[in-house]
Amino acid sequence: MKPTRLLILFSLGVLTMVAILSLGFILIYGRTAERHMMTYGQMALDSEALYVNAISGSTKDLLDSVSLDADISRLLNYENVSASDLLTGLRRLSHYESSNYFIDSIYIFNRKNGMIYVSSPHMPEAVYPIKDFPDFTAKEIFLDYSGINNLDPIFRIFNPFFPSIDEIPYLSFIRYNTLVDQNESNVIMVNIRQDMLAKLIDSNETDGEFLLLMDNSESVHAIAGNKEMATDSLLETVLRRMERSQENFSLRSEGKRYIVCQTEVLNGKAKLAMIADEDVIDSITKTKGYGNAIVLLALLFGFSLLVSGFLFRFIWKNIKSQHDAIEENRRKEAEAAIANRRNIILSCLHSGTSFEASGIIEENTAEIVVAIFAIDNYPKLVDGMERIADRNTFKERLCTFISSRIDDDLHPLSTYEDDERCLLILQNPTDLPDMEKLKEEIMAAFAISVSVFVSDPCPLDLASSAYGYMSESISYRFLLGPGITVTRSMVEEQEMTPYSIPETSLRKMVDDILKLNIPGALVHLREILDGISGGSYRSAQTSLVNLSTSLEDAICKLQRNNGIEESSLSDALLYRFLKMEYIAEIYSYMEAILHQTELAVEQNKNSRQSDLVNEIIRITKENCENRTFSIDTVAEKLGMTSAYLGKVFKRTTGETFSRFVLNERMTVACKLLAETDEPIDSIIYSVGFGDTPYFYKLFKQLNGCTPAKYRETHHIR
């Protein structure tokens, strides 16, 4: 083949490869740009979804407040509502409606009396019988809310009472009692205008985007943005595509490309979608707009970087492998030397082998001091170190740090055991280092607390026994607490001080527990534990057995005396005591146990008093129409004193018994006035009042009108 043809074929091959690479880059770049715009759209949508979700959270808080409001509870739950209670409840309802920016109106449906109480700027009245309520869709929901869960969003249309006002699209939420039968509960409804969503989102009506809100019934509402874009053709295309995929996507409709992003709102009960013109998002994000020259330049630059990166990686890999091999050999040699020295030192200490023969300690050493640095709370510290190698590395760093803080004239030698102990051997000591300062430096460097146990100066041949004695002394950390410094003389002195708990102290502690005097019991417990801390370790074990037995018996007896179920302490208390690292933890543990028991006793006592008050109320409702009825009548029926019953009733309900009786009699009188034609004087005597002028005065105070006026207003014909 001629050279000219070869050159042409080579050139065509190069051009083809460049064209393929350029086309691939352009396609990848276009896809990346589209993803970029979708990410921007999703971020914008998520920020707007926060406002929509805020409505659900705010509405839940409002419903909680309304449900728990005592004044509104009378409107919601009482079959008969007095005039004063009606006025107070409606004022509270109006307060809740006006205090929340989102809320347009609130309805309360009392199923017992068939009345709906309203706070709405679109209603001429505040109270309606269910049959006359002008919000027809709300009335249907009140009568049959099956299929609607609490706080499910309800999209509906309300035609206001005033003809001059157009219909209002509402987003409504209801709250009802799920413990009663279906469609038997009272209902609270909160209404939010759908155009409120547009005000919250604050979208520009001239932008190239708009928002759709879709409920579970597939109803679609354009709530914000440029709603003129929401043509039937575009909506049909978007909804058909959304049925097939829950992911964000792009589509073409009516000669334009659109980006569609979607997310769930209102606790997953609705979906919010943003449809945006791709050109509008592109002008905001500036994702596109790069020329072909930049694309080709990027391809060439990328190819150059690829070749340079390959060569650099090849050279660097060879250099790094050689460096890593050298460092690995050094590390292994250092670890082997440290491990060998550690094994020699521990062997000398545990077996009594001479340090001089091992060559670890200088020949001219006359005496040594063994110091054990025990890491406090060691089990919790090593919980985060799964490998033994990690623990050894940490202990090695700690030993090196301790040695670096000791005067070189003492020739410090350090190593560690496979537990909390780090060892330090000082040679020819004259003055010991400041252990308190050293502990502070360890805390600052490693954020751990250590306790130090220091032997007396001893000859080399007694190093093993000195180490063994100080290792056994670590158990005194249980009595003295963490972060202590202990010498051999201190241990010997405390071992010579046996301690047993005085019977009087135990008896006083138990008596205070049974009397529920927890502060006094804790004072005695503190005194006992302080005494145990000052005695020998052996006597502490015996004392803890006696203490745990007394505490178990006292707590179990207290629980039995107060009629509550006994907690399972008997087989676990002593075991917990002996597993605790410090005796101070026993006090904290028992303090929590005693306070929990005190709380259980108080709660049990309050429960019994609540049952007693309910029984008083039942007897009162059954007998209050008797003119001779009084608290003495209740006391005689229950076999208790009237003074005690009055005190319990006032403490539990917040009102006196006599006031409660008056209210009950007045409630019965109002019912008879409204439902019967019986003469007023006859009603007065039939409900238990013996003084007619007093009844008239009290009736007007409570209801704001005379009995005759009340009958005229409320009489059922």
Alpha carbons 257 and 625: distance in angstroms, whole number:
80
pLDDT per position as a tens digit, 448-460 = 999 999 988 988 8
Q: Which of 302-306, 514-518, 556-560 has the highest mean pLDDT?
A: 514-518
Alpha carbons 616 and 645: distance in angstroms, whole number:
8
Q: What is the mean pLDDT of residues 371-396?
A: 86
Q: E strands within 206-357? A: 209-215, 220-225, 249-253, 256-265, 270-277
Asked if residue 251 has pLDDT above 70, the reply is yes
DSSP labels, 79-111 = SS--HHHHHHHHHHHHHHHHH-SS--EEEEEET
Judge if 108 and 153 occupy the same domain: yes
Judge if 546 and 411 occupy the same domain: no
- Residue-level pLDDT at 289: 47
Judge if 647 and 692 occupy the same domain: yes
- Residue-level pLDDT at 30: 64
Q: How far is CA 9 from CA 3, 4, 5, 19, 20, in A?
A: 10, 9, 6, 15, 16
- Residue-level pLDDT at 408: 83
Asked if residue 178 has pLDDT above 50, the reply is yes
- Residue-level pLDDT at 570: 45
Using 50, 70 and 90 to split pLDDT, how confident is the model at 117?
Answer: very high
pLDDT per position as a tens digit, 84-105 = 888 999 998 998 888 887 788 9
- Radius of gyration over every alpha carbon of the chain, rounded to an integer in angstroms: 43
Share above pLDDT 70 across residues of the chain, in percent, rounded to a whole number: 84
537 contacts 587 by C-beta, under 8 angstroms: no
User: What residue spans of 205-291 are helical by DSSP H?
Assistant: 232-244, 278-285
* The last residue of a domain, from among 476, 495, 514: 495
pLDDT per position as a tens digit, 155-175 = 888 887 665 567 888 888 999
Judge if 633 and 558 occupy the same domain: no
137 lies in a domain?
yes
451 contacts 374 by C-beta, under 8 angstroms: yes
558 contacts 601 by C-beta, under 8 angstroms: yes
How many structural domains is the chain composed of? 4
Range of weakest confidence among 150-159, 561-570, 618-627 = 561-570
451 versus 691: which is more confidently predicted? 451
- Residue-level pLDDT at 185: 92
Asked if residue 242 has pLDDT above 50, the reply is yes
329 lies in a domain?
no
453 lies in a domain?
yes
226 contacts 209 by C-beta, under 8 angstroms: yes
pTM confidence score: 0.43
426 lies in a domain?
yes
* The last residue of a domain, from among 495, 525, 546: 495
- Which residues fall within 8 angstroms of residue 287, CB to CB, at 6 or more apart? 33, 36, 37, 281
Alpha carbons 26 and 282: distance in angstroms, whole number:
16
610 lies in a domain?
no
Asked if residue 186 has pLDDT above 60, the reply is yes
Judge if 448 and 522 occupy the same domain: no
CATH label of the domain that carries residue 470? 3.30.70.270
216 versus 55: which is more confidently predicted? 55
Judge if 572 and 452 occupy the same domain: no
Asked if residue 70 has pLDDT above 50, the reply is yes
pLDDT per position as a tens digit, 284-335 = 665 544 444 455 656 665 676 676 666 657 666 766 677 777 777 777 776 6
- Residue-level pLDDT at 190: 94
Judge if 560 and 695 occupy the same domain: no
Judge if 577 and 632 occupy the same domain: no
Judge if 489 and 440 occupy the same domain: yes
Judge if 396 and 416 occupy the same domain: yes
DSSP label at residue 300: H
For residue 706, which phi and psi values (nearest 5 degrees)?
Answer: -80, 160
Asked if residue 48 has pLDDT above 80, the reply is no
Judge if 488 and 508 occupy the same domain: no
Q: What is the mean pLDDT of residues 59-71?
A: 87
The total of other beta-carbon atoms located within 10 Å of residue 102's CB is 20
- Residue-level pLDDT at 291: 46
* The last residue of a domain, from among 475, 495, 515: 495
CA dihedral of 288, 289, 293, 299, whole degrees rounded to 10? -10
Nearest alpha-carbon partner for 19 in 253, 395, 296, 217 = 296
Asked if residue 560 has pLDDT above 60, the reply is yes
pLDDT per position as a tens digit, 26-39 = 666 667 766 777 77
Using 50, 70 and 90 to split pLDDT, how confident is the model at 128?
Answer: very high
Alpha carbons 117 and 96: distance in angstroms, whole number:
13
426 forms bridges with which residues in the sheet? 369
Range of weakest confidence among 77-81, 121-125, 567-571 = 567-571
- Residue-level pLDDT at 116: 94
254 lies in a domain?
no
Alpha carbons 533 and 434: distance in angstroms, whole number:
25
CATH label of the domain that carries residue 702? 1.10.10.60
559 versus 660: which is more confidently predicted? 660
Provide the residue range defining the domain that includes 638: 624-714
Mean of all residue pLDDT scores within the chain: 80
For residue 518, which phi and psi values (nearest 5 degrees)?
Answer: -65, -45
120 contacts 106 by C-beta, under 8 angstroms: yes
Using 50, 70 and 90 to split pLDDT, how confident is the model at 250?
Answer: confident
37 lies in a domain?
no
Judge if 372 and 464 occupy the same domain: yes
Range of weakest confidence among 222-236, 249-263, 523-537 = 222-236
